[in-house]
């Protein structure tokens, strides 16, 4: 009993072979896109990430290897398709096709699982990144390690704080600001539980291309303190106001979503290739066994080993 038994003419088998080669070519393109996007994530995106770099880098490197696997697998597919079309009666062709289909199923499983896991891992990475940024702000003045990490991140990505520059105003990091204890503003700025709400951000929040002095610290920039009292717009114009988490999230999500889309597309195309390859091979093999003069022979996905046993 054959599954999906379809009769193909000589022209029909030729068309199947053409479609198969076209699908393999599409898979090679998708594999190339996989590698390009993953390399972009490693070389462009991650070079600016200070926190949680290993997790995302591992995911993108795995994607690179999957892309290489897809390219190699479907390049070999051109040879397999030719053998199925011209030498279907040979035992070596049957063995090669079976191995190629098994590897194709492996490709489908790997692509689907890794793409979905990478997308789901994003929430964990971003939550962990947020906690790291919160710790970096809190220990900015007390710990040189975190100060260096935060300054590097904010300068490289031209961002400030977690969600926005206001994260620096309300964080407990200012408790370690010695200048605050000597300032006449300390009484008015002091909040419940000994915290302070001070419009101070680190120098690394300053815009690189701002043509004037950067206004980021009213406690030290005493001559310009009136700008903060007047809430002058030039203050916000001199610093980066967008949070680092948002800047990191956008490109990372975009690349990961594209990888997920192309990954699932590659899986669907690969399944189509497996089904079409079975139809082509069985039809070409049955033609040799049946020896029809009109060139028509049935093909199927799963069925008897040859036409005579059906």
The verdict on residue 180 lying in a domain is: yes
> 284 burial class (0-12, 13-18, 19+ CB within 10 angstroms)?
buried
| Domain boundary, last residue among 211, 241, 271 | 241
Is pTM beyond 0.85? Reply is no
The verdict on residue 147 lying in a domain is: no
Q: How many CB atoms lie within 10 A of CB 270?
A: 27
The verdict on residue 152 lying in a domain is: no
What is the 8-class DSSP label of residue 184? T
Q: What is the C-alpha separation between 194 and 181, in angstroms, rounded?
A: 12
User: In terms of domains, do 126 and 259 share one?
Assistant: yes
| Domain boundary, last residue among 220, 241, 262 | 241
Q: What is the C-alpha separation between 86 and 96, in angstroms, rounded?
A: 14
User: In terms of domains, do 120 and 10 share one?
Assistant: yes
Cβ–Cβ under 8 Å, residues 263 and 271: no
Question: Which residues are within 8 A (CB) of 253 and not within 5 positions of it... i.e. 6 or more apart?
Answer: 122
Cβ–Cβ under 8 Å, residues 230 and 215: no
* pLDDT tens per residue across all 310 residues of the chain: 567 788 888 888 999 999 999 999 999 999 999 888 888 777 655 565 666 667 667 777 888 888 899 999 999 999 999 998 888 888 899 899 999 999 999 988 888 888 777 777 777 777 878 888 888 888 888 888 888 988 988 998 899 998 888 888 876 666 655 545 445 554 445 555 555 567 888 889 998 888 888 888 777 777 776 776 666 788 888 888 899 888 888 877 888 888 888 888 889 999 999 999 989 988 888 887 776 666 788 888 876 654 444 4
* Domains: count for the chain: 2
Enclosing domain of residue 207? 165-241
């Amino acid at each position: 009993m054959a599954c999906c038994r379809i009769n193909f003419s000589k022209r029909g088998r030729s068309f199947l072979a053409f479609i198969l080669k076209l699908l393999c070519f599409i898979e090679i393109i998708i594999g190339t896109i996989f590698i390009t996007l993953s390399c972009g994530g490693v070389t462009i995106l991650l070079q600016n990430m200070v926190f949680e770099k290993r997790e995302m880098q591992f995911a993108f490197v795995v994607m690179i290897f999957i892309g290489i696997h897809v390219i190699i697998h479907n390049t070999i597919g051109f040879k397999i398709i030719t053998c199925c079309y011209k030498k279907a009666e040979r035992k070596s062709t049957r063995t090669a096709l079976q191995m190629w289909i098994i590897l194709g199923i492996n490709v489908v499983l790997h692509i689907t699982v890794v793409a979905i896991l990478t997308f789901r891992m994003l929430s964990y990475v971003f939550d962990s990144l947020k906690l790291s940024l919160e710790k970096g702000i809190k220990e900015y003045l007390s710990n040189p390690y975190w100060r260096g990490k935060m300054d590097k991140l904010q300068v490289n990505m031209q961002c400030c704080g977690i969600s926005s520059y206001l994260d620096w105003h309300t964080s407990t990091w200012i408790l370690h600001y010695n200048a605050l204890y000597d300032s006449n503003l300390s009484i008015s700025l002091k909040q419940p539980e000994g915290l302070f709400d001070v419009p101070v951000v680190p120098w690394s929040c300053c815009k690189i291309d701002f043509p004037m002095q950067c206004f980021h610290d009213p406690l030290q920039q005493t001559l310009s303190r009136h700008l903060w009292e007047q809430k002058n717009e030039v203050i916000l114009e001199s610093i980066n106001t967008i949070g680092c988490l948002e800047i990191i999230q956008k490109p990372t999500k975009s690349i990961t979503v594209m990888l997920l889309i192309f990954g699932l597309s590659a899986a669907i195309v690969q399944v189509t290739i497996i089904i079409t390859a079975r139809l082509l091979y069985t039809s070409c093999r049955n033609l040799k066994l049946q020896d029809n003069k009109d060139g028509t022979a049935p093909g199927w996905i799963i069925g008897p080993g040859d036409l005579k046993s059906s």
